[in-house]
Structures are given as structure tokens and as C-alpha cells.
Amino acid sequence: MPTAAEANAVAAADEATTAHLGDGDDAPQSVDQTAPEERAVVLRRGLRRMRTIATLLLGVMTLIFIATTMTKYDWPWLPYLRAFAEAGMVGACADWFAVVALFRRPLGLPIPHTGIIPSNKERIGGALGRFMTNNFLTAPVMNERLARIDVIGVIAHWLENADNTDRLANNLAQLLPRIVSSLPGPQIGATAGRLAQQALVTIPAAPAAAKLLEIVWAQGEAQALIAQAIEYGQGYLADNKDYFSSKIAQQSSRWIPRWVDNLIADKVMNGALTTLTEMRDPRHPWRVELQRGIERLIGQLGSDPQMYTKGEAFKAQLLANPVFIEQAKMLWTELASGLELGIPAHADAIARGFAETLRSIGRWLREDPERQTQLNRRIRAVARRLLLAYRFEIGNYIERVVRNWDSTTLVQRLELQVGKDLQFIRINGTLVGGLVGLLIFIASKWIAAF
């Protein structure tokens, strides 16, 4: 069983490691903002420097002790300096032993209760996971931390930078052909057909047709189309009047004189042209009657049960036809083929469109503080809900990761994070030990004087 001192040492190492890795507020920005490899180099350099300073301080104390012991001079202050150096040596060696014992066996000797961290790897993993869960992944801490984060503001500021949006848009434009070519075309086509089929099943055919027809008719496109059809028909008849007159005359009886046939044909053609000319007026009775008929049809499609039944029957017949799925597949195939051919040729235009769209999104986010507040609130709520829901899974994940490390890796990573600070224990032990030894020496002199 580990001793109390051993458990305290493990807990201290756990908390120091978590403070460096989990929070990051107190760590130097120059280290935190570098790449992991560069950060490891900086930490290793700092650890080596502090270890050298602590060792040199021990060497200085040793030299002072040797010099004051071997000197022949009888200076009155010399015993005090020797006492300070002697106690400093003891404090330095004791704290060196304590620091090294956390990570490995001092001098490789099998001394009990040394190499504490490798011997307690599983306990450290559990303690680290529980520490993160109970101190960082709690509702009060997350509420306080998330309230400081302006996610939308950061995104808007980043998107308003032209360099950022241009770079992102160019990357998207370059990746788009690969994305399109890597998509499983037949599967997507089949899926699109099934989704369209499922969506259409839920939409009543007759009411949907009524709304669509009402929109088209109300916008005036249908009336304009009718006017164009009448104008085209009138022009076509006028250009081919003689041809149609001869065809009409050929259908007459052979007992009727030719001039009568021609007269009748001319009358028919002139009547048709006159009627078409009159129908170009929107107030023509036939146009008015057509409008009324369309309006009646819209009403029947929207409310007549018989129309509803007929519409559903027609829709079921259409959806049951295998040609419907095949047409959806063909539509996606043609669309994908067009994209593969068109995207590379218009990469610059696509990139410019992407960039402008991204900048527009940035401006849209920035221009309305209330919108930013609402979006930030939703993002924080989602993040808080996810973190709270998986807080124990995160703690268990940290525990598993630490347990899966081999002992050497665990020692190296922990020592790299907290070893520099632990070297201050050696430095402080040297100086404080020397001062305490000096005070004890003075006290012994004072007691001996009585």
C-alpha cells in the first residue's frame, strides 16, 4: 500500500500536470501558441536549464563546505558559513532525492517508495480523469468559461478578412472537383429518388397542384404565355393563309364551283384571324371565360374531395412507376457530369463567388449585435449540453489514455510538464536548508554559551 507521503506526491504531480495541460491560463503564451513539437523542445530546454542551476547550486555549497573545512584561517564568521554550506548540501541532496523519487529510482537503487509515478500509473490515470471531470467539466465552471467566449464575433472577424476568405474559397474551389468525383453517383441517385418518392408521398397532390397553379396564374406568367401563344398562332395563320385556304377548298364537294370553295376558305381564315386578333385583348369573353375556368379548377383542386381522390390516385400511379426512380438517377448523373466538366473550367469564378459569400456571411453576423448574442447563446447551450452529457466519458477517456501509456512515456511527459517547477524545490531546499542549518548552528552556540 502507498504511504501518505507517496499519495500526496502523486496528487501534487497530477494537479500540476492538469494545471499545465488542462487550463493553460498561467502558461507562457509563447509556449502555448507554438506547435506541439516546438513546445516540447522549449519545455525540455527549460527543464534542462533549471536542473543545471539546481545542480550547480549544490556544487557551490559543496565547494564552500570543502573550502571552509580545509582553510587554516580562524576567521570568526567562517564556522557560520561552513554551517550554512553543510546544511545547504543536506537540503539539496534530500530534495534531489525527493524529486527524482517521483519519476524513477534514484541512482537505480531499489529503494522502497521510489519511482512513485511509474508504480502508480493506473491511480494517476484515474485521478487525472476524475480531476478533469470534477473541476473542469462541471456546470458552474463551463457556464463561467463559455460566457467569456464570443464564437460568432471571432468567426465574423475572421470572415471579414479578405485574405482569410480568399484562401478558404480557393481551397474549397480546388477541393470541389475531387469531392464531386469521389461521390458515389449511382447510390446518391438512388437515394435522391427514394427521398423524393418519400417526400412526395406525404404531400397531397391536388392541394399542392392548386397552390402551384394559383401562384403561376397570380404572377401573370400564364396570361403572358397565353398572349404569346395567340400572337404566335395569328402570325402563323397569316403567313400560311394560302396553304390553309387550299386545304379547306380540297375538302369541299366536287359539285361546288372552285370560286365558291375559295370564297368559303377565305371567309374561314379571315374569321379565324379576326378572332385571334380580338383574343389578344385580355377582356375578350373567351379570355375571361378561360380565367374563370382556371379559378374554378384551382378551387376544385383545393377543396373538392373527388379531385383530391383523383390526385392521390394519379400520384400513386406516378410513384409506383419504376421510370420515376430511373429519371432521378439519370438527373443526378447528368448533374454530376456537368459539375465535373464545369467546375474546373470556372474555378476562378467559383472561388470569387465563395469568397464573396463568406464575406457576406461575416458582415451579416457582424451587423446585428442581437443576432450575435442569440447565436452565441445557442452555441454555448449546445456545447454545455454536450460536455455535461459526456463529462464522465471524457474523464474515462483520459484515464484510458494514461493507462495505455507505457511507464517511460508517462514519466517523460509528466516530467516535461512539471519537472521545471520541481527543480525550484531543489533550489529552495538548498537555500532554505542552509538558512535553517545556520539558525540551528547559531542556536547551538547560544545554548552552549550558558
For residue 413, the model assigns a pLDDT of 78
State whether the Cα torsion 297-300-305-306 is positive or negative. negative
Per-residue pLDDT band for 81 (boundaries 50, 70, 90) equals very high
Give residues with Cβ within 8 angstroms of 258, minimum separation 6. Answer: 249
CA contacts within 13 A on the Cβ side of 100: 15
Q: How far apart are CA 148 and CA 354, in angstroms?
A: 31
Query: What percentage of the chain has pLDDT greater than the value 90?
Result: 7
pLDDT at 217 over 80: no
Looking at residue 105, its amino acid is: R
For residue 349, the model assigns a pLDDT of 78
DSSP-derived 3-state class of residue 160? coil
The number of beta carbons lying within 10 Å of the beta carbon of residue 293 is 10
Report field, pTM of the whole predicted structure over 0.75? no
For residue 411, the model assigns a pLDDT of 78
pLDDT at 63 over 90: yes
Q: What is the dihedral of CA 253, 254, 259, 261, to 10 degrees?
A: 20
For residue 333, the model assigns a pLDDT of 66
Mean pLDDT of 318-323: 69
Q: How far apart are CA 50 and CA 52, in angstroms?
A: 5
Per-residue pLDDT band for 345 (boundaries 50, 70, 90) equals low
